[in-house]
Structure 1
Amino acid sequence: MEWALTLAAFVIGGVFGYVGHTLLAKNNRHKSNNEQLEQTQLELSQYKQEVSDHFDEHYKQLAELTAQLNRVNQQWNASASLFTSPVTDKQLPELKVQNTEKSEEEVELIEKKELTAA
């Protein structure tokens, strides 16, 4: 009779052990997935910031280049009017810098569209 109780206790302990192990493994896997998701979201937001900074820097460089070209055009126009006759007076056009900055609302709408698409 003792061996039957021992065997029953062993089987019940095995079942409880299996159920406990399954629940703990699910919980650990869930935590691991959440941590990995948070890490990936952090990396994505850092990458978005780097790309945004990159384009901002290029925009500033293009604005500087446009200003320099405008100064050269003004000097050219001033020199050309001195050395040519008034009949052939051709002026170089002045370049304008376009405002390509987006408002915070537009950025948020774009991000929401990207999140819903993913």
Structure 2
Amino acid sequence: MEWALTLAAFVIGGVFGYVSHTLLAKNSRHKSNNEQLEQTQLELSQYKQEVSDHFDDQFKQLAELTAQLNKVNQQWNNAAPVFTSPVTDKKLPELATKPLEVTDKANTENALGGIDNDVKDKVTEAA
């Protein structure tokens, strides 16, 4: 009878150990996956912020360049009559800057394409 009781205790202990090991392994895998997911989300948000900052900087540089070109064109238009005869009265166009909300690459490309088209239109009008 002692052997039967010992064998039953051993089998019950084995089953209990197997069940507890399975539950603990699932929890640790789930915890590991959650940590990895959080890390990946953090990296993605940092990358999105870097891309957004990059496009903001590019837009600011483009706006500064447009302002400088407008200043040069204005100076040229003011100085051109002094150096040319009164018959030629062609003036360089003013470049227009558009306010830009940078949300993604497609909007940025569309906005930059729009600026190029404005410049082309004004140059053809001046000629």
Q: Which residue does 1:34 correspond to in 2? A: 34
Q: TM-score, normalised by structure 1?
A: 0.82
Q: Which residue does 1:72 correspond to in 2? A: 72
Q: Which residue does 1:88 correspond to in 2? A: 88
Which amino acid counterpart does residue 20 of structure 2 have in structure 1?
G
The alignment yields a C-alpha RMSD, in angstroms, of: 1.5
Percentage of matched positions with identical amino acids: 82
Partners of 2:38 and 2:63 lie apart in 1 by 37
Q: Secondary structure at the match of 2:93?
A: coil
Greater mean alpha carbon deviation, residues 78-87 or residues 16-25: 78-87
Q: Secondary structure at the match of 1:100?
A: coil
* Number of residues of Structure 1 aligned to a counterpart in Structure 2: 104
- Structure 2 runs not aligned, ≥5 long: 105-127
- Structure 1 runs not aligned, ≥5 long: 108-118
Q: Which aligned runs of 4 or more in structure 1 are off by greater than 3 angstroms?
A: none
**What's the CA shift string for 1:50-83, capped at 9, x where partnerless?**
1101110111111111111111111111111111
Q: TM-score, normalised by structure 2?
A: 0.77
